[in-house]
Structure 1
Amino acid sequence: MIRYKSQKQRTLPGFDTPPDMILDPDNRWVKLSECMPWDDLAQSYHKKLSSTLGRPAKDARIVIGAVIIKHKLSVSDDETVEQIRENPYLQYFIGLKGFQSEAPFAPSLFVEVRKRMGQTVFDEFHETIIDAVEHRKARRIVESGNSDDGGNAAESDGKTGLAGTTETLAAEQSAPDESQNHGKLIVDASVVEQAIRFPTDLGLLNEARELSERIIDELHAHSSRPQKRKPRTYREVARKAYLSVVKLKRPSNKRRRAGIRQQLQLLRRNLGHIETMLTAYPYGTPLPLPNWLLRRYWVLPHLFEQQYEMYTTHTRRCDDRIVNISQPYIRPIIRGKQGKAVEFGAKISVSLTGRGLAHVDKLHWNAQHEGHDLQSQVEAYKKRYGCYPEVVIADTAYGSRDNRSFLKQRDIRFAGKPLGRPPKITPENEDEMKRLKAQRRQEYRQRIPIEGKFGQGKHGYRLNNIRAKRADTSIAWINSIFLVMNLLVLVQVFIGLKKIVINIAIWAKDTTIFRKIVFEHTHQFISCRNFSWQ
């Protein structure tokens, strides 16, 4: 059930604090709260909830604000709740009426929120941030217009200067012509690593064997004939054999294969015992196993088949290879990076606009070529901005013939080296060839922002250490990090626009006209309470 109040009337002076506590209006969380389009984000979040059924849900601002705090500070779920409980600025940010010493919610709320917030919700969040940034950047005033001509106009006639400013703002807000291409689209791909142990064949088989022993223990404890002898598993012998191999610094291939063969034999024996014990439960009867253990049991036969096939064929690869029993959807992705040839996680295709906003367009759990996502990324750009980009900046992996033909049909230039043999340099075309080469080099350097965005996410917000345990919660975790990074862009635009509006107030010298400009051209994003009317 949806329970929500509009956030337009939340002010810092109205936030209840102890008598000896004074909040700073220039605090980073206060500034972020002022520029957040809370109502639009709440509307997107509520689409996953029922308006009539179920318990009253937590306020959308509390939920969204808590997710932003968690990934902004890069802390765990429990630590996020403690930070909110101790910090009045964080409590103001999530929309509480006043400071309270009790935790506003339990840490388990994050798990349910990650399950609920799918890719559709985050896509709408991204559209909301784009709309806010585009509206605010469209309202920016060129500094040259304010410094020279604008100042003289203000001295002579304040109203005339404001009229010119209004016309400039209106012209900047005009929608782009769909028949023309505008802007640039920067695309790239990266792997978002999951927080899993590095997989080895022997380690996976040992873990699978221990899980099978746990299943045998559970089934025997719930057996209708407990006096029957439990199947022998040789767990102590298997554990000693496993340790005798992994403790070696550099085990030989023969020794390693002998250890794998022994673990395969013991795992096959245990799976046979489990199948025999499950015959006591007819089809449709619930099994006496906890859900987490039952899900892992479904993975064990597939893991055994893959490992047995690789052992018999003397290979180290197979289709849809399982590298983690608790997260079987993770696949090894060969990247060829220095020091890290293989990465384990989701492969994301990200697009970055000239405004600095990044969006996860595609997310794959299998190793797929990122060049196949370019066409859908270009169409997504047109859906957001109403026109195609003027240029697509990407590395050579995106420069296939199909992609180049697709871009050419839409009058989009691909900033990359042309295919085929380079033309022969002659005195007539030497200058033109040098110019094109310098242009390609300059445009290729414009890929630096998206590489920096990946670095910002991985080193600043732990994008390379996703600790979610499910595929859907991992997707929500990844999108939350990109949401936080886009909000930082929104804050920069908000602060810059706030300074410009204050300059307009000083320049206008007319409170009535200034109020009109603020309300007409900043809509709901900037409230007049943020500025002084003196």
Structure 2
Amino acid sequence: MQGKRQEAAQNLALGGRMYKRKSNQVSIFDDPAMFGGIPLNPENEWVKLAKLIPWWVFEEKYAEQFPSGTGQPADSLRMALGSQIIKERYRFSDEMTAAHIAMNPYLQYFVGLKGFTQAEPFHPSMMTRYRMRLGSEILQEVNDVIIGRKTVEDVRSKIEDRDDSNGHDDHSDDHDGAGGRGKGNQEPEEANSGTLILDATCTPQAIRFPTDTSLLDEARKNAERLIDALHKAGLTDGRKPRTYRVRAKNQYNGFSKSRKKTNRSIRACKRQQLNYLRRDLKAIDAVVRKHPDEWEKILTRWELERLGVIRLLFDQQRRMYETRTNRIEDRIVSLSQPWVRPIVRGKQNAPVEFGAKVGMSDINGFLRIEHLSWDAFNEGTTLQDSVEGYRKAYGHYPDRVLADTIFRNRENLRYCKDHGIHLNGPRMGKPTKDPIIRKQELRQEWLESGERGNIERRFGIAKRCYSLGRVTAKLKHTSEVMIHMSVLTLNLQKRLRLLLRFFFVYFKRLQVA
């Protein structure tokens, strides 16, 4: 059911449109000195950011989502991606993003308009469709170019290889090794170099804090809404099923307003709401049995999906109530976003968070998403894939891998030892008895622990200044896009600061000379 919902949302985002390259779109090589009669400052942040992104390279991949050759031309990749970057940079809402673009010529230049206009370039609802069109693969490739993991030629050759893939299967083995830099599948000639920092974090979803009683109350209300729809359509034989909704509402309100909720009162409230919900589901099942071919036509797609989630939630809560436990596999914590799972992090302020778990790498201060999952996973199992991805991109293994203690399992230690990679942390076995060597090891561990903290600081910036700390998207796909956009915007800002620092040092040396 969720797959059908994602497919329907994707079709709605495309809207039967065609994609046409706009010859009048602003090129990054155009001089912004005169933007539609308005002189722009070439040192402005948005003018420089527009030159950092090779828009034309990723336009080919973006155009693949519009197979139709007819219809109204869709907005360009620069409009879609640029508006999302602006939203992340200032943490605007969709409405505020469109409004500020209409007021700011620099933002209009950034999204690729030919000249300044006082009208909004798109309706705010298009922001959701832009997120549906932008896939994680496109954003990952844009991020790889920004952080220097790939070059423009790498992305362009990848697109050409994909177009010419038919009939060239005999050369498939040439791309299995270090493909990003064209190193082939040979052993790396270069010595290990570079530092790879690995860690994982949770990106909290903007949902209400879930409790069993509140979820059951919401499910009961939704079930009553479905019964009302079926009764209005005449599928209940003129007699509306009794739901006891007033009594159920009063009982839950009395529980929710109590200041001290004991285990006994919580269990009593759960029993009451389970009984009411069971009665509602039985009434719906009776309609389904009597009208097997008509009831699905009455309910909307949203209501059908919600009914499936309610059934699953009822089954989970009933089993937990009967077994007196608070744990169950694939536990639902949100009816509107059933793919969200509780992620146990063990932090002091938030021991459990609700959202996607993301494994990231840090290379020279730039973040990259290595693994994203809505289910909890052991990040220690992703180390070898991240290291192999590093080798594929740069043609050699990293000299050091700095990671948390959860990454230091026997398989990873053996893997790093076989490839000559230093993995931070104490060595296995008894510590050496030599006090000098022991002191050096402790100092090295202390220094590497501080260096590993760089990725934690990057996480803090992404959560405090961007959307990584509270993902407000309502769909699974758009939530993943927002996570990628937060990382991409963070790296863009760092790349811009490095560029400005380079010019500052360069001109300062000229003045000294």
What is the TM-score with the length of structure 2 in the denominator? 0.84
Kept after mapping to 2: 8 A contact 1:187/1:394: yes
Q: Are 1:16 and 2:36 counterparts? A: yes
1:179-198 to structure 2, matched below 5 A, reads 179-198=190-209
Match of 1:275 in 2: 285
Deviation at 1:331, TM superposition (A): 1.0
Deviation at 1:262, TM superposition (A): 0.9
What SS does the corresponding residue of 2:148 show, helix, strand or coil?
helix
Deviates more, 1:492-501 or 1:432-441: 492-501
Deviation at 1:499, TM superposition (A): 5.0
1:72-83 to structure 2, matched below 5 A, reads 72-83=89-100
Using a 3 Å threshold, how does the CA distance of structure 1 residues 134 and 119 change in structure 2: closer, same or farther? closer
- In the aligned structure 1, how far is the partner of 2:337 from the partner of 2:149? 37
- In the aligned structure 1, how far is the partner of 2:317 from the partner of 2:39? 63
Which residue, out of 325, 332, 337, partners 1:322?
A: 332
One-letter amino acid of the structure 2 residue matched with residue 223 of structure 1 = G
What SS does the corresponding residue of 1:337 show, helix, strand or coil?
coil
- In the aligned structure 1, how far is the partner of 2:458 from the partner of 2:322? 44
CA shift digits 1:410-440 (9 cap, x unpaired):
11110111122213x2xxx332222222112
CA shift digits 1:194-249 (9 cap, x unpaired):
00101111100000000000001111112267x70211111111100000101001
Kept after mapping to 1: 8 A contact 2:87/2:97: yes
Alignment length, in residue pairs? 462
Q: Are 1:351 and 2:375 counterparts? A: no
What SS does the corresponding residue of 1:287 show, helix, strand or coil?
helix
Which structure has the larger Rg over C-alpha atoms?
1
- In the aligned structure 2, how far is the partner of 1:391 from the partner of 1:242? 56
Q: Are 1:27 and 2:32 counterparts? A: no
1:339-488 to structure 2, matched below 5 A, reads 339-354=349-364, 356-423=365-432, 425=433, 429-488=434-493
Kept after mapping to 2: 8 A contact 1:457/1:481: yes
- In the aligned structure 1, how far is the partner of 2:29 from the partner of 2:107? 18
Using a 3 Å threshold, how does the CA distance of structure 1 residues 187 and 284 change in structure 2: closer, same or farther? farther
- In the aligned structure 2, how far is the partner of 1:54 from the partner of 1:396? 55
Kept after mapping to 2: 8 A contact 1:233/1:266: yes
What SS does the corresponding residue of 1:81 show, helix, strand or coil?
helix
What SS does the corresponding residue of 1:97 show, helix, strand or coil?
coil
- In the aligned structure 1, how far is the partner of 2:370 from the partner of 2:192? 20
One-letter amino acid of the structure 1 residue matched with residue 31 of structure 2 = T
What SS does the corresponding residue of 1:131 show, helix, strand or coil?
coil
- In the aligned structure 2, how far is the partner of 1:341 from the partner of 1:504? 51
- In the aligned structure 2, how far is the partner of 1:462 from the partner of 1:416? 32
Match of 1:169 in 2: none
Deviation at 1:44, TM superposition (A): 4.1
- In the aligned structure 1, how far is the partner of 2:196 from the partner of 2:366? 11
What is the TM-score with the length of structure 1 in the denominator? 0.81
Match of 2:8 in 1: none
Match of 2:79 in 1: 62
Match of 1:512 in 2: none
Deviation at 1:280, TM superposition (A): 4.4
Deviation at 1:474, TM superposition (A): 0.8
- In the aligned structure 2, how far is the partner of 1:59 from the partner of 1:339? 43
Using a 3 Å threshold, how does the CA distance of structure 1 residues 205 and 450 change in structure 2: closer, same or farther? same
One-letter amino acid of the structure 2 residue matched with residue 218 of structure 1 = A
- In the aligned structure 1, how far is the partner of 2:350 from the partner of 2:42? 45
Q: Are 1:130 and 2:147 counterparts? A: yes
- In the aligned structure 2, how far is the partner of 1:298 from the partner of 1:353? 43
- In the aligned structure 1, how far is the partner of 2:63 from the partner of 2:320? 48
Q: Are 1:40 and 2:57 counterparts? A: yes
Deviation at 1:364, TM superposition (A): 1.5
Kept after mapping to 2: 8 A contact 1:190/1:348: yes
Deviation at 1:47, TM superposition (A): 4.0
- In the aligned structure 2, how far is the partner of 1:398 from the partner of 1:103? 49
- In the aligned structure 2, how far is the partner of 1:339 from the partner of 1:499? 41
Match of 1:205 in 2: 216
- In the aligned structure 1, how far is the partner of 2:284 from the partner of 2:182? 69
One-letter amino acid of the structure 2 residue matched with residue 260 of structure 1 = K
One-letter amino acid of the structure 2 residue matched with residue 237 of structure 1 = R
CA shift digits 1:300-323 (9 cap, x unpaired):
111111111111111111111111
Using a 3 Å threshold, how does the CA distance of structure 1 residues 438 and 288 change in structure 2: closer, same or farther? same
Match of 1:291 in 2: 301
Kept after mapping to 1: 8 A contact 2:33/2:41: no
Deviation at 1:85, TM superposition (A): 1.1
Deviates more, 1:279-288 or 1:57-66: 279-288
Deviation at 1:486, TM superposition (A): 0.9
Match of 1:159 in 2: none
One-letter amino acid of the structure 2 residue matched with residue 406 of structure 1 = Y
Deviation at 1:81, TM superposition (A): 0.7
- In the aligned structure 2, how far is the partner of 1:58 from the partner of 1:454? 32
What percentage of residue pairs aligned between the two structures are identical? 39
Deviation at 1:358, TM superposition (A): 0.5
Kept after mapping to 2: 8 A contact 1:193/1:465: yes
What SS does the corresponding residue of 1:113 show, helix, strand or coil?
helix
Deviation at 1:500, TM superposition (A): 6.7
CA shift digits 1:78-124 (9 cap, x unpaired):
11111111111111111111111111111222222222222211221
What SS does the corresponding residue of 1:101 show, helix, strand or coil?
coil
Kept after mapping to 2: 8 A contact 1:133/1:490: no
CA shift digits 1:170-208 (9 cap, x unpaired):
xxx999974311111000011110001011111000000
Q: Which residues of structure 1 form unaligned runs of 5+? A: 136-172, 509-534
Deviates more, 1:44-53 or 1:259-268: 44-53
Deviation at 1:505, TM superposition (A): 9.2
- In the aligned structure 2, how far is the partner of 1:380 from the partner of 1:396? 21
- In the aligned structure 2, how far is the partner of 1:189 from the partner of 1:53? 44
CA shift digits 1:352-391 (9 cap, x unpaired):
002x111111012112111111111111111221211110
Kept after mapping to 2: 8 A contact 1:306/1:318: yes
- In the aligned structure 2, how far is the partner of 1:105 from the partner of 1:31? 23
Match of 1:221 in 2: 232
Match of 1:146 in 2: none
Deviates more, 1:63-72 or 1:273-282: 273-282
- In the aligned structure 1, how far is the partner of 2:221 from the partner of 2:78? 44
One-letter amino acid of the structure 2 residue matched with residue 467 of structure 1 = T
CA-atom RMSD in angstroms: 2.7
Which residue, out of 116, 121, 126, partners 1:109?
A: 126
One-letter amino acid of the structure 1 residue matched with residue 107 of structure 2 = L
One-letter amino acid of the structure 1 residue matched with residue 379 of structure 2 = E
- In the aligned structure 1, how far is the partner of 2:469 from the partner of 2:316? 27
- In the aligned structure 2, how far is the partner of 1:132 from the partner of 1:318? 40
